[in-house]
Amino acid sequence: MVVLHALSDFIDSDFAVRDLSPSYWYEGRCLQSGERLRLPRTSMSEAIAHGLMQQLAKNDCYSREGKMYGILLVELPNGEQRVLKAFSGLLNGCSLVTGWVPPIPGRDEVALEEARTLAELDAIKQEILTLKQLTERQQYETLSDEFERQLQEMSDRHRHCKHQRQEKRQQICNTLPPEALAIALEQLDEESRQQGIERRQLKRQQNEVLQPLQQLIAATDARISELKQQRKALSRQLQAQMHASYSLTNFSGRSLSLQQLIPGGSPTGTGDCCAPKLLHYAATHNLKPLAMAEFWWGASSVNQDKIPGEFYGACIERCQPLMGFLLSGLKPNPPAPFPAREGGDVTLPIIYEDEWLIAVNKPAGLLSVPGRYRDRQDSVLSRLRHLLPDGMALASVHRLDQETSGILLLARDRQTHRQLSQQFQQRQVHKVYEAILSGVAIAEQGVIDLPLWGDPENRPYQKVDWQNGKPSLTQFQVISREQDYTRLEFTPLTGRTHQLRVHAADVRGLGITILGDRLYGCDAVTSRLHLHARELHFEHPQLKKTLYLKAITPF
């Protein structure tokens, strides 16, 4: 079966790469060394993907069901370049399709069990749908509403009669002789007793009619709950069998099952996405990956967060946790997305540079400035001081948390540092962060106003403190929601330590931790803190013009 394709199948022979800067990085940390490994999505891989889109557009069968597709540009041992293509899950019900990368080994081993379990799950689904459509539910609602109406009308009438009796008692007490008064009062009491009997009779009738329906509905709901538990147990059992049988191989030649890679469990479909299929095939066929691109094709996704023809990164739940293992053994790493200063284990991509200032795209895991102790000296500032001729004059204008990536601004002289620092202090610098929350945010946008105070007993932990805290203000805007995660923009109007992390995690803020923020309670298995300083707008102190800096979000 032909799986390797020529570049000419997707792009013209005279195609020229105009932009060498990757638009996205597939990345993860090696499970053994902790080294950060990366594979880019480049203009070349995107052009190849667009060529694949044109092929898909010619056949209606690709448009009926929406799914992710991907291409991997690879280099053969002889130096020639070829293209692999893959689809996520099944294509028109088939896992093995000519011309496409085959599924990761293991699916065939559980194919029979999978088919049997899927049939059981479908039968459970149909029974649940039937039980939810129980006609007695609507009957109960209608009768219940009717009895409530009758009881309300009776209560109103009885209340009016009671008021009339009270007025009549006052009247006859002053006008009737004792013997006639006793008879009249007894008549009024009898009327009250009759109305009580009338109410009890209606309540009894209500119970006689509704109780059998209630019992039937309760039994039905109990059955639905039982079926849902069965469905969950079957799904988990099948998932465990599949994850134990699926075996991934990386570029070091090491193979592990999904169960070994994600022992805590992972969503159904893990291992069936494009990226793992493409990288596993390349690793097992001595092919060197150069660049990858994944895109959505066909109908929009159910929750409308995937648009046909748009490129997307590794999915958070299924692919991202596997990236560090899959890329292990792939060396050397591709070049940085911007002209970079090499130093230490991590490159420092330069976003902007002139004689007065320099802005870098700080990688996650690297300090902004050196720490107090010897083992905390490696940082953006210390590396640039060693790398640049004028490095010793550099000064950091602001800081990013060690685990936060994104734009970090440094000044090359004292005057520029003073002027930029004033802009930050006077809140004249516009900052935009992008983050992924480890849950689904309800609000679309808003402002979080929670004062923050450092906990002296638990540094660097910050907490909300209404008495001692410093004013802290954050605007937020949801970008998209995907399954159990929320991608959003943060615009901090103040610059407190861990401001965005606390405002996200605290129940008085969003009440959802940023994905990967273990300090504030996120226990999800992920390679990094999903917080990135994406944009920075400020006035250049010397050029007297506004600089608009942006660093592509790497997750």
Is 510 within 8 Å of 437 (Cβ atoms)? yes
Please tell me whether residue 364 adopts helix, strand or coil conformation: coil
Amino acid at 421: S
**CATH number for the domain formed by residue range(s) 340-550:** 3.30.2350.10
Amino acid at 461: Y
DSSP 510-525: T--PBTT-GGGT----
Predicted confidence at residue 335, as pLDDT, reads 37
Q: Digits of tens for pLDDT over the chain (555 positions)?
A: 568 999 989 987 655 554 446 778 888 877 777 777 889 988 889 999 999 999 999 887 777 788 999 999 999 888 889 999 999 988 877 878 899 999 887 666 666 777 788 888 889 999 999 999 999 999 999 999 999 999 999 999 999 999 999 999 888 888 888 888 899 899 999 999 999 999 999 999 999 999 999 999 999 999 999 999 999 888 777 767 766 677 888 898 888 877 777 766 655 556 678 999 999 999 999 999 999 999 999 877 555 567 888 898 887 777 888 888 899 888 654 433 334 444 444 457 888 888 899 999 999 888 998 876 665 778 898 888 877 877 788 999 999 999 999 999 999 999 999 999 999 999 999 999 999 999 999 899 999 999 999 877 777 889 999 988 999 999 999 998 888 899 999 999 998 999 999 999 999 999 999 999 989 988 887 888 999 999 999 999 999 888 999 988 888
Q: Which is the catalytic residue, given 272, 354, 390, 401?
A: 401
Q: Give the pTM.
A: 0.46
Strands (E), 166-206: none
Q: For residue 361, give the H/E element and its range.
A: strand 357-362
Predicted confidence at residue 341, as pLDDT, reads 46
Domain ranges of the chain: 7-107+246-326, 128-241, 340-550
Predicted confidence at residue 324, as pLDDT, reads 87
User: How far is Cα 539 from Cα 545, in angstroms, rounded to an integer?
Assistant: 5
Please tell me whether residue 197 adopts helix, strand or coil conformation: helix
14 is annotated as an active-site residue: no
User: How far is Cα 333 from Cα 36, in angstroms, rounded to an integer?
Assistant: 9
User: How far is Cα 197 from Cα 109, in angstroms, rounded to an integer?
Assistant: 71
Quickly list H helices, 437-524.
Answer: 499-505
Q: What are the C-alpha distances in Å from 401 to residues 39, 59, 145, 489? A: 24, 49, 58, 17
Strands (E), 168-286: 247-249, 255-257
Predicted confidence at residue 339, as pLDDT, reads 41
Token pair in block for residue 460: 């660097």
Q: How far apart are the first and last CA of the chain?
A: 34
Q: For residue 86, give the H/E element and its range.
A: strand 81-87
